[in-house]
Amino acid sequence: MLFISTFILLILAGSLNASRNEIEELLDEFNQGKAGREIREQSRPVTPVPDPCDQHVCGWGKECVVDKKGRPVCECISKCPELEDDPLDKVCASNNQTFASLCHLYRQRCVCKKRSGFENE
């Protein structure tokens, strides 16, 4: 009787080991499939989204920005580039006001037109 119960226990233990091995094999296959999928996802070419402002030209003192609907819109330049303090870069307007650069002059012109309601001119 002891022999039979030991034999049954060995068979059960063997089937448990077989089940563990099967589970480990399934997990390995799953992980390999997951890794393969990750590699495929990483190797997909990324399609760049075209910038709506690429072909859109704005006037002096304005820059192209994308609105909430994804359309290109011209707005007054938010900030002109900082320049070294070179007197030759300064620009005098027709009202005798001096600006640090052409960018600053045209930005001010755009801002004034926007405030006065004449921004389409």
Neighbours of 107 (CB within 10 A): 21
Contact 101, 86 (CB under 8 A): no
Class at the top of the CATH hierarchy for domain 62-116: alpha beta
Give residue-wise pLDDT tens across range 22-61.
Answer: 666 766 766 666 555 555 666 677 788 888 899 899 998 9
Q: pLDDT tens digits for 80-116?
A: 988 787 777 888 988 999 999 999 999 999 998 877 7
Q: Which residue has the tokens 């307007």?
A: 93
Distance, CA of 61 to CA of 77 (rounded, Å): 6
